[in-house]
Chains A and B, each alone.
Chain A
């Protein structure tokens, strides 16, 4: 069943795109990530131009994370105050990221920057998550109680001023690192065309010590708002959001996210972190492969007017 996409300007198989939405939605619901770092490469693979893919994926991610966030909200598994503080930094970061993106494009080194950032970020974050979660799982197996939060393990972060109490997360920390994390996620997300959930989740767990149960729902709120914001910005500036493509992806995505969220609830936090770590590392290695192995075709053709954000 083929349908012609009005902005991407080519026909696609509806069922294939729907299935891709389902699969990525499942993963995003399960791990509480947007799934942009999986969906964008998939769309490019089926022939959609990178620019249209990135712009349209933003709205798909917004839909999946909204449906996921509602689920977590019902289970009281998200912290609205923390999400609000993250958003302040997130929206400023997104705007700054778009500006740097435009600059890099003008310099002609955007591809390399994106490839290297994916490799470095996904590689390190993935390996760190795997190492940490394997340790946690081994500890639990060994009968020792899983290390929760030791009161004495205060880092320099906890010495910063402007402290605020986050009731749901049961933490009392400075808002400065939270704004900073929001900013970095928004900034990196705008450059790499991703929601940044896979970075945000470990950052909140390891740096701010937010309980794992609250992290995913909270991260979804940030992803939801930044991606909805990105959709509007992309549409207003580049005119590259394909609403038809977005709708098909969304329908698959929200259904997948529901099942993913339920499947995710059956795993422990450590197991989820291990699985997500493996996934993130795999995508990172995929980018490494592209950068290191000689490409089949050394040449690429790209229209000059085309925006690749």
Chain B
């Protein structure tokens, strides 16, 4: 009986996938602080590919793809059409819980890292990120060449909130890599997911998640919190500030 259990255990160990590689990552900071002089920042990610004794040698070397996803928000993409001579928002699509920020960094062209099916399955790359749309009550991802989806991606890229950096990951040694995650000045505050994927020979070997937070601090935080939590008093204070500024100016510039 005992022998049988042992044999079973050995079999199970053999049947387990050969997940020999492990990813270890660390961020230069897990909190990006927004103070009044914030104009954007870079968060540096360091990582290494840990191997154990049984790891087979990978002929093609390792590939790393890092996906950073900002807080999700539901947005509407409008398309203007000419109606009775004027351009109006005629058609629209609602993207449900789309990332407000999305950056994909890789050590080489993503299409060379794995075949298209693997990339699709693992949602690797901007073009393969799921952007579910709400269509008459149902929620489904659109086709890749849907014009609304393409316009949404294009507008996000223009605003610097979506990026694909095909040489954003640098291998320092065959197992040690480094990447700089750009945080633009208009990045929304909140929690950002950092997802690191390890590929070799076109297959996903390992995956690791970590997180990053963007927060306002000091005066910025004080103002934002006051506006959110004590809206009425904040408004009264702002109105009072307006009156005071106006009065002060008329006193300062008084000529008689």
- Asked if A pairs with B, the answer is yes
A-B pairs with lowest CB-CB distance, top 8: A235-B235, A66-B246, A254-B249, A299-B151, A67-B246, A232-B235, A63-B242, A70-B250
Partner-A contacts on B (CB < 8 A): 34-39, 73-82, 85-89, 92, 94, 148, 151-152, 154-156, 185-186, 188-189, 216, 219-221, 223-224, 227-228, 231-232, 234-239, 241-243, 245-250, 253, 256
**Is B246 a contact of A65 with CB atoms below 8 Å?**
yes
Contact surface of A with B, Cβ cutoff 8 Å = 2-4, 6-7, 9-11, 47, 59-60, 62-71, 74, 108-109, 111-112, 115-116, 224, 228, 231-237, 239-241, 243-244, 246-247, 250-251, 254-255, 257-258, 290-295, 297-305
Q: Total contacts A to B, CB within 8 angstroms? A: 194
- Across the interface, which residues of B come within 8 angstroms of A65, CB to CB? 246
Is B231 in contact with A112, judged by CB distance below 8 angstroms? no
B77:A243 contact, CB within 8 angstroms: no
Q: When the two chains form their complex, are residues B189 and A241 in contact, meaning their CB atoms are under 8 A apart?
A: no
Alpha-carbon distance A34/B243, docked complex (angstroms): 14
Contact between B87 and A243, CB atoms less than 8 A apart: no
Contact B155 A299 (CB under 8 A): yes
Give Cα distance in the complex from A182 to B126, angstroms: 53
Q: Which A residues lie within 8 Å of B216 (CB)? A: 6
**Cross-chain contact A235 with B80 (CB below 8 angstroms):** no
Q: Are A258 and B253 touching (Cβ within 8 A)?
A: yes
Complexed CA–CA distance, A7 and B94 (Å): 25
The answer, among B36, B77, B82, B256, for a CB contact under 8 Å with A4, is B36
What are 10 contact pairs spanning A and B, CB under 8 A? A62-B243, A63-B246, A70-B246, A111-B89, A224-B246, A290-B87, A298-B151, A299-B80, A303-B73, A303-B74
The answer on a CB contact under 8 Å between A241 and B235 is yes
Among candidates B39, B82, B151, B253, residue contacting A11 with C-beta atoms closer than 8 Å: B39
Contacting residues, chain A, for B156 (C-beta < 8 A): 301
Closest to B82 in A: A294
User: Which one of A111, A115, A255, A302 lies within 8 Å of B249 (CB-CB)?
Assistant: A255
Is A243's CB under 8 angstroms from B75's CB?
no
| Min distance, Cβ A184 to any Cβ of chain B, angstroms | 23
Cα distance, A241 to B236, chains bound together (Å) = 11
Q: For B78, what are the chain A residues with a Cβ–Cβ distance below 8 Å?
A: 299-302
A248 to B236, CA, bound (A): 18
**Pick the contact of A59 from B34, B231, B239 — CB < 8 Å?**
B239
**Closest Cβ neighbor of B187 among chain A residues:** A9
**Contact assessment for B152 and A257 in the assembled complex, using a CB-CB cutoff below 8 Å:** no
Q: Decide: A247 near B189, CB < 8 A? Known: A65-B246, A237-B231, A301-B155.
A: no
Residues of B within 8 A of A112 (CB): 86, 88-89
Q: B239 to chain A: which residues have CB within 8 Å?
A: 59, 62, 228, 231-232
Residue on B nearest A116 in the bound complex, by CB: B86
CA distance A105 to B251 in the complex (A): 42
Name B255's closest neighbour in chain A (CB-CB): A262
Cβ–Cβ contact A239 & B227, under 8 A: yes
